[in-house]
């Protein structure tokens, strides 16, 4: 329990550090819009912290943007979608590194810590990207589930904004395509099968269909 309290206190303290990092002058242009190169650098830092061998956030961003175009999102929303994908796990900077390499199931305390990261990311990004207020919201909701059992707000089906539903599918697909300490990389067919199994449960069926069509299914 003492270790859990220490981690919780670290999260509170490191929220401020994350906010300060994202508030660096290089993050924004004169119009208050984020610099893509800087955000891509941050996404690479997050990928390394999570143990990805190849770019995850950048792959996810390209996947999400392509899905958004297929599903008819407007250009401003596509920009927000891409930016949200690049920094979707910004809140994980504050989590213990060993959580990402643990081969077995997480404890209740560890799950609590994991579930804080969308809220921490939203908090930091609302301060860092005031010109794009929808980006922090998408980061907050990228772990919501179609069946209403996701986190942090347990939104149900279309209560989840479409861009956040797209992020969920793009995140899962990009993650499955890379090897992890507890499993090998999956093929496109295996990813399509897993997304199909979770359509209507974890994922929006329409977004899953768009992913399958996009990958020649």
Q: Give the total number of structural domains in the chain.
A: 1
Q: Is residue 141 part of a domain?
A: yes
Indicate if the alpha-carbon torsion angle 157, 88, 4, 51 is positive or negative: positive
Q: Is residue 29 part of a domain?
A: no
Residue range 22-43: mean pLDDT, rounded: 48
Q: Residue 49 is part of a domain; what is its CATH number? A: 1.10.3210.10
| pTM over 0.95, yes/no | no
Q: What's the pLDDT tens digit per position in 51-66?
A: 555 577 888 999 999 9
Q: What's the pLDDT tens digit per position in 131-152?
A: 567 889 999 999 999 999 999 9
Q: Is residue 161 part of a domain?
A: yes
Give yes or no for residue 45 having a pLDDT over 60: no
Domain range for 201 is: 2-24+35-214
Pick from 5-9, 138-142, 157-161, 212-216: least confident: 5-9
Residues 160 and 181: their CA atoms lie apart, in Å, by 31
State the chain's mean pLDDT as an integer.
Answer: 78
Q: Is residue 30 part of a domain?
A: no
What pLDDT shows up at residue 87? 83
> To the nearest 5 percent, what fractions of the chain are helix, strand and coil?
65, 5, 30
**Rounded percentage of the chain residues whose pLDDT exceeds 70:** 66
E strands of the chain, at which residues? none
What pLDDT shows up at residue 121? 83
């Amino acid at each position: 329990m003492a270790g859990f309290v220490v981690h919780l206190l670290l999260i509170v303290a490191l929220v401020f550090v994350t906010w300060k990092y994202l508030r660096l002058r290089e993050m924004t242009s004169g119009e208050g819009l984020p610099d893509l190169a800087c955000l891509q650098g941050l996404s690479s830092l997050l990928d390394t912290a999570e143990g990805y061998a190849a770019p995850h956030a950048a792959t996810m961003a390209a996947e999400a943007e392509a899905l958004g175009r297929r599903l008819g999102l407007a250009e401003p929303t596509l920009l927000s979608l891409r930016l949200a994908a690049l920094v979707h796990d910004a809140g994980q900077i504050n989590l213990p590194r060993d959580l990402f390499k643990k081969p077995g199931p997480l404890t209740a305390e560890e799950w609590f810590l994991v579930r804080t990261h969308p809220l921490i990311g939203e908090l930091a990004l609302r301060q860092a990207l005031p010109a794009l207020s929808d980006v922090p919201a998408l980061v907050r909701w990228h772990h919501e589930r179609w069946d209403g059992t996701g986190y942090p707000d347990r939104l149900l089906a279309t209560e989840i904004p479409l861009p956040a539903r797209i992020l969920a599918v793009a995140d899962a697909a990009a993650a499955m395509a890379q090897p992890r300490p507890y499993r090998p990389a999956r093929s496109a067919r295996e990813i399509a099968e897993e997304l199909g199994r979770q359509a209507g449960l974890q994922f929006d069926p329409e977004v899953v269909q768009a992913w399958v069509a996009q990958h020649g299914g």
